[in-house]
Structure 1
């Protein structure tokens, strides 16, 4: 009768994992409380009409359906701790729902709906333990209402009362379900973002080393199992430390970001790229021989030369690349990387800004 989207236990932790989310609880519940209380008051009013109730119960009905949702929101909004204040409002919601059961002389359908939807709303509020805390409050309110009415018992629900209950049953339940679906989608999206953060380097946009090594090992396995070629490029960003020292770490990050973006632009479907170290990238090119891999490496080397950074306008940029074709002697991924690393060392030793094919043939040297 009051609250909004629900979630599983995992979703609960996500919903209230930040102060901002906790402070937003009153606003999230407000619209659902207005809807639930308003539709509930419609059913209450029909029962009161049939009971020919006096003005006091009509006033209470108006306060329940029209005034309480707004008052509850203001109480929570102006509280020093909106999250705790809204929990008190939720307890009051349950008490109000239970109090109305004897006020309606236990009219069966609206009484069941009020209690059932109120209980479900506590579960759906995502506030841990709130349902358990509402139980004694609800029992006390029901007993108080019963004492006030002498426990008058008229459970029969007329057709008019049934029709008045339908909006509460259908509209409120449907919108709460829709809200829950939206929450679940947000949780799924957040989980995807967290998974992406665990797999992708935030600066370069390339895979983190652990994930890259796993995929590279699978590519090496295919080399041995399927007898198809694969080539490894090990890339060092020349002068990265100098850019860091001369222009600061923001400039260094900008260089890595630009170098990573240039590499991603040139990758082909199936290529496996990752950030191997601080200023080193690695690319596995499955089903690719040395000649084709060298063309890709040269295109990348030339692309990096065109990078211009506002953070380091006086620096030119280049990369050195070692290239190794996977072979039967590479039983482990480390063996393959070791050979590519030897070629990369040769590229740096012989002047940088060039690519070297294992076991040492230099290409694309610019001096």
Structure 2
């Protein structure tokens, strides 16, 4: 949990680095133009150039090396705000450079930390102004020169562009993360197939399509024979391996439009659209044979067999539950007839290792 929190903090530090470097660099032009008419002492120029050119890289290293990078980066942003307030008062509140610097830093605080960082940043700006007035005394310069106007133009154009690009990249990452979470919510974690709820939703949609368009589709319910015995004899780790192997075979052996899901426990369900019972039986028989050939070198005595029930969607079904129950009846007929076979209601049990004519 701690490593995950630190990883998110480091990501935050890296995300802030580029906007701070660009913003401080071009903001230096506005501060320089604002301070130039005041002829400050040399140490002020040294502090100003350090703040504009070196501080972004120092802040980045502080964030990376901190055991709590997220909190360290927020402290760095408060320092940004305080220096912004300091230079604003040092320029005697010259309108254009002052508003430009303070508004850009405020925008950065809101984007990075919302209302809380906005308020704390505002207090830090006031603290910086008070510090400057304590050192240099108060002053007021309400006229901006042409040089100061031109020096602020890069800050007014390039910094919003840089911040907008960072926000855009963040939005893309959030969108990808949302898609990943959506996929996880629909997927069984062990097998990677659709989970029970997602498969039932697709069953509802496929049933409606078949009834409205009079198209064909077959449900297959697949049960691993004596799976409880496998778990009891070899342990749940081997049982999980068997489930993963079956899911892998389903992914390999099914057609592109077939929809496979883990219905629960050792039971899997497949929707085979645009398939007849005979076609579905051939597909399921090949699956049964491939799974039956599974061998674990560490457990050579382990054998896996499948019982499979099929049902085609009929117009006399009132709902998808009736369709699913039909396949369930076929499955229990297969299990009661000796297992390790494919069966469909109204058809014959297909005993093991019977080849279907293509």
Give the TM-score normalised by the residue count of structure 2. Answer: 0.87
Residue 189 of structure 1, aligned match among 155, 172, 176:
176
**Partner of 1:219 in structure 2?**
206
Q: Secondary structure at the match of 2:218?
A: strand
State the alpha-carbon separation in 2 of the partners of residues 282 and 37 from structure 1: 59
Deviation at residue 366 of structure 1 after TM alignment? 4.1
- Kept in 2, the 8 Å contact 1:199–1:207? The answer is yes
Q: Given the superposition, is the C-alpha separation of residues 74 and 204 from structure 1 closer, same or farther in structure 2, using an over 3 Å criterion?
A: closer
**Partner of 1:111 in structure 2?**
98
State the alpha-carbon separation in 1 of the partners of residues 260 and 50 from structure 2: 64
Residue 334 of structure 1, aligned match among 317, 321, 326:
321
2:341 equivalent to 1:354: yes
**Partner of 1:170 in structure 2?**
157
Deviation at residue 104 of structure 1 after TM alignment? 1.6
2:271 equivalent to 1:284: yes
- Kept in 1, the 8 Å contact 2:341–2:352? The answer is yes
1:330-350 Cα distance to aligned partner (Å, 9 max, x none): 222222222211211121222
- Kept in 2, the 8 Å contact 1:346–1:360? The answer is no
2:209 equivalent to 1:199: no
Q: Given the superposition, is the C-alpha separation of residues 120 and 265 from structure 1 closer, same or farther in structure 2, using an over 3 Å criterion?
A: same
State the alpha-carbon separation in 2 of the partners of residues 203 and 100 from structure 1: 58
- Kept in 1, the 8 Å contact 2:10–2:63? The answer is no
Matches within 5 A, 1:8-47: 18-22=5-9, 24-47=11-34
**Partner of 1:97 in structure 2?**
84
Q: Secondary structure at the match of 2:200?
A: helix
Q: Given the superposition, is the C-alpha separation of residues 263 and 36 from structure 1 closer, same or farther in structure 2, using an over 3 Å criterion?
A: same
Deviation at residue 361 of structure 1 after TM alignment? 1.3
Bigger mean CA offset, 93-102 vs 50-59: 50-59
Bigger mean CA offset, 222-231 vs 335-344: 222-231
Give the TM-score normalised by the residue count of structure 1. Answer: 0.85
Deviation at residue 146 of structure 1 after TM alignment? 4.1
**Partner of 1:4 in structure 2?**
none
- Kept in 1, the 8 Å contact 2:6–2:69? The answer is no
**Partner of 1:53 in structure 2?**
40
Deviation at residue 106 of structure 1 after TM alignment? 2.5
State the alpha-carbon separation in 2 of the partners of residues 158 and 253 from structure 1: 75
**Partner of 1:300 in structure 2?**
287
**Partner of 2:238 in structure 1?**
251
State the alpha-carbon separation in 2 of the partners of residues 291 and 78 from structure 1: 65
Deviation at residue 45 of structure 1 after TM alignment? 2.0
Deviation at residue 144 of structure 1 after TM alignment? 4.1
- Kept in 1, the 8 Å contact 2:15–2:166? The answer is no
**Partner of 2:112 in structure 1?**
125
Deviation at residue 84 of structure 1 after TM alignment? 3.0
**Partner of 2:167 in structure 1?**
180
State the alpha-carbon separation in 2 of the partners of residues 130 and 337 from structure 1: 55
Bigger mean CA offset, 148-157 vs 250-259: 148-157
Q: Given the superposition, is the C-alpha separation of residues 79 and 271 from structure 1 closer, same or farther in structure 2, using an over 3 Å criterion?
A: closer
More contact order relative to length (CA 8 Å, sep ≥ 6): 1
Question: How many residue pairs end up in the alignment?
Answer: 352
State the alpha-carbon separation in 2 of the partners of residues 318 and 358 from structure 1: 20
Deviation at residue 313 of structure 1 after TM alignment? 4.1
State the alpha-carbon separation in 2 of the partners of residues 311 and 251 from structure 1: 10
State the alpha-carbon separation in 2 of the partners of residues 242 and 360 from structure 1: 30
Q: Given the superposition, is the C-alpha separation of residues 94 and 310 from structure 1 closer, same or farther in structure 2, using an over 3 Å criterion?
A: farther
What 5-or-longer segments of structure 1 have no aligned partner?
A: 1-16
Deviation at residue 148 of structure 1 after TM alignment? 4.4
